[in-house]
A and B are shown apart, each in its own frame.
Chain A
């Protein structure tokens, strides 16, 4: 009886170990992990080879707000390795490190323009298959080298990768670009009738001689290959067409000087229709503004002046959309996704058109319905003119 209970306890103990310790098989202590904050991908020395740069956090070198003072060293470490495919480069990288590269905190994947010009699909394939990497990691195209961009120091952030991510987020808030997480890019890429975009970043040298990173337009993709670029202005217009503008400003040349309007409300809707086997898109834009700044000394709060300003603002919007469409039509790259919108609404009529969509897009007809309203002229009713002036 005694031996039976002993056996039962022994078996229970073994089973308990099985339950509690099996999870430790793949376990790793935090001090055994090299936490990757950003990944840069440049072209390697041979075809299909990539030069991968992993920015690894060094938590012991991160300064807290109270510590201040001079840094003991950089709070990050950039490690580079070339390999055939990303996985090979990552595995080879492990040989240089005493820790395992851990991708779960990776914030940004920077891909150089050279690599993007060939294809970014093998790169995305690695990250989408990875169970560790985030689906929401931001994609960035680097003008120049990805490793260079990833090394750009910032006075505001300790970690360049974090700096790049914050830069992107800030530009998204200003409606200058659309953040492009990995899963979103893949969704756009798999959808017919839309050319996906990824923000472009570049290094520039400021007046003090320090190199900084900045967002400079967007790269447009055809499938997984870089097929064109948009300027910063065109990228902002793209956000307008995609109805992503929540704030911003518009600067008009009017009454012999300038008038700055702050966008308080913006709504864009695109309604496609099919006529005689052609897609026609109607873009409706309604924006509301408040007057924030002007160099005009005349009273521009009169109905006539307001109407003229509103007309100018509407014309500016149409011109900017036209400019965007003109450039992208020339390249056959439907960045606004008119083809996708038309397909979603009229799948049967548009399905055949999508096979030759780049050509169809060149012949796309666009109608505009723009309404602009200046609601408030700020906290003053009329410009303050010196005594004895006209007003």
Chain B
């Protein structure tokens, strides 16, 4: 990891966009809740996420150039800040674990049946560690290529599904109970948009002149467009089958059959998904290792990467050996845990920072007044 390499605003945008597309390609949690109305939650989720984005941006504005872990210590002090950083580090490790496990289950279940999952996880993690050790800037450079590739594949694949699409599958709209829409929106912000809190750990790597507000908002809009396109395509193609299939995007690709020539092109989707997952895993690995480095006062997270990567592989294998348990946890449990970490804690941090700033400024004012009296 090269501390000198900095990433520009544009690169930050492609990094965040890649991360979010990688997240939205695993959209099963929304489709299983809202079926043909899943597209709604993309918009409601994005709107509901805006206040939380404002919280993230408020923290960044107050502590420019500091990572999330440094902000914690600046606001809550060394001990409480480190405890909070431990929670975030655990959270990033959890997302990393579930991301890797999901990808490994996909490879073992769909692409290379029979391949030991341990080997897939280990091989993938070695690549991630190697890439992360090279630094974030090279990763940021490839993110532009990956984001464009993912968009191209998504658009081309969507065009290829037109022959099998049926617009009537969108109807009837808004017939589900209101609480289901709330659940769908909550799932969208906590499982998809909310993960963008990880970008706060990358801030020290940014060019000092970079204003992160624009790239963050641009990547959010970009992710909304991509997610809407992906979800709508799946609704139009799979229709009532949508809530039943394990991987809607992949199954949509399986349906493409143009005159028996253009068929079995789901491997292209698999390639994009694995590439984006690799990118996402690298970002999360960097975030988790940075957290550990900050907590343990190690100068650089570089020496931690390999042992930590090995730990994550073992953790992934031990945590959810049964796919069904993992899917249940992802859909029903994790949104609630994630909400606390992604939104409540940053909000408390911002409030504490404000309070601290307010008290600090009033104390300064008091001292100043005292000095005048003297």
Q: Interface on A for B, CB 8 Å cutoff?
A: 15, 18-19, 22-23, 25-26, 104, 131, 134-136, 183, 186-187, 190-191, 343-345, 347-348, 351
Cross-chain contact A347 with B175 (CB below 8 angstroms): yes
> Known contacts A136-B255, A344-B172, A347-B172: does B240 contact A187 (CB below 8 Å)?
yes
Cross-chain contact B123 with A22 (CB below 8 angstroms): yes
Residue in B closest to A18 when the chains form the complex, CB atoms: B123
Q: Is B122 an interface residue (CB 8 A)?
A: yes
Q: Which of these, B116, B119, B122, B168, contacts A344 with CB under 8 Å?
A: B168
Q: List 25 A-B contacts (CB under 8 A).
A: A15-B126, A18-B123, A22-B120, A22-B123, A23-B115, A26-B112, A26-B113, A26-B115, A104-B264, A134-B263, A135-B255, A136-B255, A136-B257, A136-B263, A183-B238, A183-B241, A186-B240, A186-B241, A187-B169, A187-B239, A191-B240, A343-B172, A344-B171, A347-B171, A351-B175
Cross-chain contact A22 with B109 (CB below 8 angstroms): no
Q: Is B370 an interface residue (CB 8 A)?
A: no
User: Of A104, A343, A344, which is in contact with the most chain B CB atoms at under 10 Å from its CB?
Assistant: A344
Cross-chain contact A25 with B240 (CB below 8 angstroms): no
Q: Is B251 an interface residue (CB 8 A)?
A: yes
Shortest beta-carbon distance from B157 to chain A in Å: 15
Q: Is B311 an interface residue (CB 8 A)?
A: no
Q: Is B271 an interface residue (CB 8 A)?
A: no
| CB-defined contacts of B169 to chain A, threshold 8 Å | 187
| CB-defined contacts of A344 to chain B, threshold 8 Å | 168, 171-172
A-B contact count (CB 8 A): 64
| CB-defined contacts of A190 to chain B, threshold 8 Å | 239-241, 244
Cross-chain contact A191 with B123 (CB below 8 angstroms): no
> Known contacts A18-B123, A183-B255: does B114 contact A26 (CB below 8 Å)?
yes
> Known contacts A104-B264, A344-B168, A344-B171: does B238 contact A22 (CB below 8 Å)?
no
Q: Is B329 an interface residue (CB 8 A)?
A: no
A137 to B101, CA, bound (A): 31
| CB-defined contacts of A26 to chain B, threshold 8 Å | 112-115
| CB-defined contacts of B120 to chain A, threshold 8 Å | 22
Q: Is B90 an interface residue (CB 8 A)?
A: no
B229-268 CB contacts (< 8 Å) to partner A: 238-241, 244, 251, 254-255, 257, 263-264
Cross-chain contact B114 with A187 (CB below 8 angstroms): no
Shortest beta-carbon distance from B3 to chain A in Å: 25
Shortest beta-carbon distance from A161 to chain B in Å: 13
| CB-defined contacts of B238 to chain A, threshold 8 Å | 183, 187
Q: Is B110 an interface residue (CB 8 A)?
A: yes
Cross-chain contact A345 with B113 (CB below 8 angstroms): no
Cross-chain contact B172 with A23 (CB below 8 angstroms): no
Cross-chain contact B112 with A25 (CB below 8 angstroms): yes
Shortest beta-carbon distance from B53 to chain A in Å: 34
| CB-defined contacts of B110 to chain A, threshold 8 Å | 131
Interface on chain A toward B: helix, strand, loop, or mixed SS? helix
Residue in A closest to B124 when the chains form the complex, CB atoms: A19
A351 to B109, CA, bound (A): 38
Shortest beta-carbon distance from A279 to chain B in Å: 14
Shortest beta-carbon distance from A292 to chain B in Å: 29
Given contact pairs A25-B112, A190-B241, a sample of 8 additional A-B residue pairs in the complex whose CB atoms are under 8 Å apart: A22-B112, A22-B115, A23-B115, A26-B115, A134-B257, A183-B241, A187-B169, A187-B239
Cross-chain contact B119 with A22 (CB below 8 angstroms): yes
| CB-defined contacts of A183 to chain B, threshold 8 Å | 238, 241, 255
Shortest beta-carbon distance from A101 to chain B in Å: 14
| CB-defined contacts of A25 to chain B, threshold 8 Å | 112, 114-116
A342 to B69, CA, bound (A): 56
A344 to B174, CA, bound (A): 11
Shortest beta-carbon distance from B282 to chain A in Å: 17
Closest 9 CB pairs of A and B: A26-B114, A347-B172, A190-B240, A344-B171, A25-B115, A187-B239, A347-B175, A136-B257, A135-B254
Shortest beta-carbon distance from B181 to chain A in Å: 15
A271 to B20, CA, bound (A): 41
| CB-defined contacts of A186 to chain B, threshold 8 Å | 240-241
| CB-defined contacts of B171 to chain A, threshold 8 Å | 344-345, 347
| CB-defined contacts of B244 to chain A, threshold 8 Å | 190
Residue in B closest to A189 when the chains form the complex, CB atoms: B240
| CB-defined contacts of B175 to chain A, threshold 8 Å | 347-348, 351
| CB-defined contacts of B123 to chain A, threshold 8 Å | 15, 18-19, 22
A186 to B169, CA, bound (A): 13
Residue in B closest to A26 when the chains form the complex, CB atoms: B114
Cross-chain contact B126 with A23 (CB below 8 angstroms): no
Shortest beta-carbon distance from B203 to chain A in Å: 33
A351 to B126, CA, bound (A): 54
A190 to B240, CA, bound (A): 6
A249 to B241, CA, bound (A): 36
A15 to B119, CA, bound (A): 10
User: Of B114, B126, B240, which is in contact with the most chain A CB atoms at under 10 Å from its CB?
Assistant: B240
A344 to B254, CA, bound (A): 27
Shortest beta-carbon distance from B255 to chain A in Å: 5
| CB-defined contacts of B240 to chain A, threshold 8 Å | 186-187, 190-191
A23 to B113, CA, bound (A): 9
B73-132 CB contacts (< 8 Å) to partner A: 109-110, 112-116, 119-120, 122-123, 126
A343 to B123, CA, bound (A): 50
| CB-defined contacts of A131 to chain B, threshold 8 Å | 109-110, 113
A100 to B351, CA, bound (A): 64
Cross-chain contact B172 with A187 (CB below 8 angstroms): no
| CB-defined contacts of A18 to chain B, threshold 8 Å | 119, 122-123, 126
| CB-defined contacts of B239 to chain A, threshold 8 Å | 187, 190-191
B190-235 CB contacts (< 8 Å) to partner A: none
Residue in A closest to B122 when the chains form the complex, CB atoms: A18
A136 to B163, CA, bound (A): 13
Shortest beta-carbon distance from B356 to chain A in Å: 49
Shortest beta-carbon distance from A194 to chain B in Å: 10
Residue in A closest to B115 when the chains form the complex, CB atoms: A25
| CB-defined contacts of B257 to chain A, threshold 8 Å | 134, 136
Shortest beta-carbon distance from A271 to chain B in Å: 13
User: Of A134, A187, A348, which is in contact with the most chain B CB atoms at under 10 Å from its CB?
Assistant: A187
Shortest beta-carbon distance from B233 to chain A in Å: 14
Shortest beta-carbon distance from B258 to chain A in Å: 11
A183 to B234, CA, bound (A): 13
| CB-defined contacts of A135 to chain B, threshold 8 Å | 251, 254-255
Cross-chain contact A23 with B109 (CB below 8 angstroms): no
A348 to B172, CA, bound (A): 9
Residue in B closest to A337 when the chains form the complex, CB atoms: B168
Residue in A closest to B171 when the chains form the complex, CB atoms: A344
Residue in A closest to B259 when the chains form the complex, CB atoms: A169
